[in-house]
């Protein structure tokens, strides 16, 4: 192909891209709408997962006192004296927020080291037998990490086996 043919190809490609961009319809005036429900898109990048989890935490209820509002710290703020008030009004709302977080970032960990699973267990146990002010933490993160290490090790050994034998 001569030099002129290559230039023609580049120009045709540029004109094609220009025509495609002009012919596409920009909905809502070309402005991307902010999605209020962070669970609408399950295929999120890591940054979008964190942002969506933050948006889940911004969902507050009028029936919950300020001290019971779940934040990124992971403290429920419930004492044994607050058990009845919390379980009547805020427990279900907090579970909904935790479900939202779990749907957008399943490995979310609060600043105190608690996971969504830990807080759900704490709410369940606290509403049935009373809150102590502590979060019941499980070792689910260790299991998750050890499973990843196992999978990585097996994958590396299989790759080494295939490379050395073939």
Task: Write out pLDDT tens, residues 54-98.
Answer: 988 988 888 888 888 898 998 888 888 888 989 987 899 999 999
Helix intervals (H) in the chain = 3-23, 46-57, 83-85, 91-104, 116-129, 140-165
Helices 91-104 and 116-129: crossing angle in degrees, nearest 10, is: 160
Mean pLDDT of 132-142: 69
Task: Write out pLDDT tens, residues 46-57.
Answer: 888 888 889 889
Report the chain's mean pLDDT, rounded to a whole number: 77
CA distance 75 to 111: 9
């Amino acid at each position: 192909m001569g030099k002129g043919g290559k230039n023609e190809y580049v120009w045709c490609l540029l004109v094609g891209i220009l025509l495609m961009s002009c012919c596409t319809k920009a909905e809502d005036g070309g402005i991307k709408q902010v999605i209020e429900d962070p669970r609408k898109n399950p295929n999120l990048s890591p940054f979008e997962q964190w942002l969506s989890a933050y948006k889940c935490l911004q969902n507050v209820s009028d029936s919950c006192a300020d001290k019971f509002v779940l934040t990124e710290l992971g403290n429920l703020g419930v004492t044994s004296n607050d058990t009845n008030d919390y379980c009547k009004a805020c427990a279900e709302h907090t579970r909904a927020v935790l479900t939202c977080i779990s749907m957008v970032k399943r490995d979310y960990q609060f600043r105190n080291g608690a996971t969504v699973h830990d807080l759900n267990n704490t709410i369940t146990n606290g509403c049935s037998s009373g809150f102590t002010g502590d979060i019941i933490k499980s070792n689910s993160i260790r299991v998750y990490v050890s499973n990843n290490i196992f999978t990585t090790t097996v994958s590396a050994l299989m790759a080494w086996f295939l490379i050395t034998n073939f």
